[in-house]
């Protein structure tokens, strides 16, 4: 501990300190952790091999039946054999997630951009947004099904309601980080209000906007799957209830594997986006 501290250049730069407070820093600490050495990659792979291999070995050793816990090899097999039945459901899940998130995310972003310009409106609206953030939108799905039927609509609405407020609340935090000197700079070169918004306010808020999009999309995924489990006959969430009802556990876990990969992909995508568009801060 002391040695590593001594090896670093003692730089107590105020900008670094400021950057640690907000923005992508939470993402990076959670995150892929920047550069890895070859050794670290090797160890990560070894741990994965150990866990998967160990599970396979123990389940075989203790003769655990596949309907209690399937072996990793059975899950992989099921993934390949069932794929032709699963991919239409994957497409439906992706469609609902994408459309719901696009609607919720855009509305959330626009609302954040607008209300942060009017402190009074912001104070009035914030409690309601908090209510939307903290209430599980899944609870609304049965109600929405009554109104919109068993199609994609109720699920899309639920996804929008779950992801929108997340995007909004984080983006609003970003838009509130005004740097008056930077706005004055733009104005001194004759910038219009719109130009100040597009060239100063949005880039300034970008780290928090991306955090909002990431959290919002993950919440959207949760809500999509949950809503599909509640009702209807399609989507990966529906397949989960279907296979568990038939006690076809390898297929059930194959879907869990797909969902895990989906979640990780979303995370990696926004991590990459953050590096690209908001890397100046992290």
> Any idea of the CA torsion for 150, 155, 157, 158, to the nearest 10 degrees?
130
| Nearest residue to 247 via CA among 69, 118, 125 | 69
CA distance 174 to 274: 14
**20, 184, 233, 264: which one binds another protein (CB under 8 A):** 184
**57, 83, 269, 280: which one binds another protein (CB under 8 A):** 280
Told to check if 260 binds another protein by CB under 8 A, we report: no
- Binding to another protein by CB under 8 A, coded x per residue (else -) over 9-48, reads ------x---------------------------------
* Options 85-93, 160-168, 195-203, 242-250: segment touching another protein (CB under 8 A): 195-203
Told to check if 199 binds another protein by CB under 8 A, we report: yes
- Find out whether 208 and 166 touch, Cβ atoms under 8 Å: no
Told to check if 278 binds another protein by CB under 8 A, we report: yes
Degrees to nearest 5, angle at CA 128 with 127 and 133: 95
Degrees to nearest 5, angle at CA 40 with 71 and 48: 0
Nearest to another protein of 103, 191 (CB atom): 191
How many Å separate Cα 234 from the centre of its chain?
A: 22
Q: Please, what is the end-to-end C-alpha distance for the chain in angstroms?
A: 23
CB of 275 to another protein, least distance (A): 12
Nearest to another protein of 205, 213 (CB atom): 205
Contact residues for another protein (CB under 8 A)? 15, 181-182, 184-191, 195, 199-200, 203-204, 206, 278, 280-281
């Amino acid at each position: 501990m002391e040695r590593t501290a001594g090896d670093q250049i003692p730089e107590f730069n105020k900008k670094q300190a400021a950057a640690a407070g907000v923005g992508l820093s939470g993402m990076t600490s959670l995150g892929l952790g920047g550069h890895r050495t070859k050794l670290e990659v090797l160890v990560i792979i070894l741990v994965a091999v150990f866990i998967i291999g160990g599970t396979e070995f123990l389940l075989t050793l203790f003769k655990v039946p596949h309907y209690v816990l399937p072996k990793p090899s059975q899950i992989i097999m099921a993934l390949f054999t069932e794929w032709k039945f699963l991919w239409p459901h994957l497409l439906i899940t992706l469609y609902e997630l994408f459309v719901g998130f696009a609607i919720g995310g855009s509305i959330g972003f626009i609302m954040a951009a607008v209300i942060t310009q009017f402190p009074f409106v912001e104070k009035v609206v914030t409690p309601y947004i908090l209510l939307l953030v903290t209430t599980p939108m899944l609870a609304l799905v049965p109600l929405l099904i009554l109104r919109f039927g068993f199609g994609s609509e109720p699920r899309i609405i639920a996804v929008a309601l779950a992801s929108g407020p997340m995007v909004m609340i984080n983006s609003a935090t970003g838009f509130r980080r005004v740097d008056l000197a930077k706005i004055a700079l733009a104005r001194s070169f004759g910038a219009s209000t719109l130009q100040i918004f597009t060239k100063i306010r949005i880039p300034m808020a970008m780290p928090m906007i991306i955090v909002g999009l990431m959290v919002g999309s993950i919440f959207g995924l949760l809500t999509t799957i949950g809503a599909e489990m509640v009702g209807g006959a399609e989507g990966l969430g529906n397949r989960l209830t279907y296979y568990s009802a038939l006690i076809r556990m390898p297929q059930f876990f194959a879907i869990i594997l797909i969902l895990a990969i989906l979640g990780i992909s979303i995370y990696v995508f926004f991590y990459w986006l953050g590096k690209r568009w908001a890397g100046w801060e992290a």
